[in-house]
Structure 1
Amino acid sequence: MGLIGGLIELLFGGGRNVVRETAEVFRENAEAGAARARDVQMGALDQFAAEFTVSRRGGFDRIMDGLNRLPRPALAMGTLGLFVAAMTDPIWFAERMQGLALVPEPLWWLLGVVVSFYFGARHQTKAQDFQRDLASTMARVPQAVENIRALRALRFDSPGAADAGTDAEMALAATTPEVNRALEDWRRMKRA
């Protein structure tokens, strides 16, 4: 018994499993591989989220953000206002357009550049916000898929959804009385 015990101690003792360690030389441990893959994915998501973390902003920054939101609505409402002015008071409108005709062409080019840069920067900021929100949503996808899978397993038409298992069968068998023929015969004789 000492030889067999020594052999088992050699293979499995001391908190080691030589058989498992030898097998892992030829084939990766699936559980450890999945854990490493999860760590890599979570690290990449954490790094991506850290790049887009918005720091706490003060009152001045919030006011400037509010002012940055004014030009687009002002341009849209101003253009609609020009159409209304042209219909309600054509002479007043014509006077203003004559003033605009006197603006030199390089100034129009400068206005075009300023507006293009403003809206281009705004578009880039919104695109980056969209990418950050998309990354946040994608990080929640595996949990949502797992939740849907668990909910679908609870549906009434899923195989085995109503199966109570062997413990319920044992409990039902223990509480359901069996037919006792001797007792039934005794009761019949007593009634007669």
Structure 2
Amino acid sequence: MGDVLWGRRNLVRETVEVFRENSEQSAVRAHDLQAAALAQFAAEFLGQKSGFDRFMDGLNRLPRPMLALGTLGLMGAAMLDPVWFAARMQGIALVPEPLWWLLGIVVSFYFGARAQAKSQAFQEGIARSLARVPRAVENLESLNALRQGADPVEKNETSDNPALADWHRDRRG
């Protein structure tokens, strides 16, 4: 009898879905959307890269390891052959100052953006902490007053608010 009146449709579900989204279908759509996005992302990396692209990717990965290993190599060279190392350092001492500035700029642009962002975030965190210091000191003073059995708001009796001063006087009796 149900099939005769309702057919193969679920009338209750269809009516409710007019007012509320079907959670199961929503999850299926979200899964399909995520799968499509991942497929698109993967397609970008599946394609054949040109030789130039592969060369540039490799080149972009070299500076940090080269700087780290080069510094360790210089330390090792200084220990193994100090005279050879000193001769090389004399050559570096002859490099003109503008060239050092240029090297500093190149290294700063390469490594500096991340360091700058981290430094600014650190300074903002310190500023937020320092802004909370007066309130923390007030809270500590109130807690110490409570510990000693004193009225934590007694210091406010000298305020410009006459109602508060009257209230304090009335409280003390």
TM range (shorter): 0.3 to 0.5
| TM-score, length of structure 2 as denominator length | 0.45
Greater helix percent: which structure?
A: 2
What TM-score results when the alignment is normalised by the length of structure 1? 0.42
The structure with the largest alpha-carbon Rg is 1
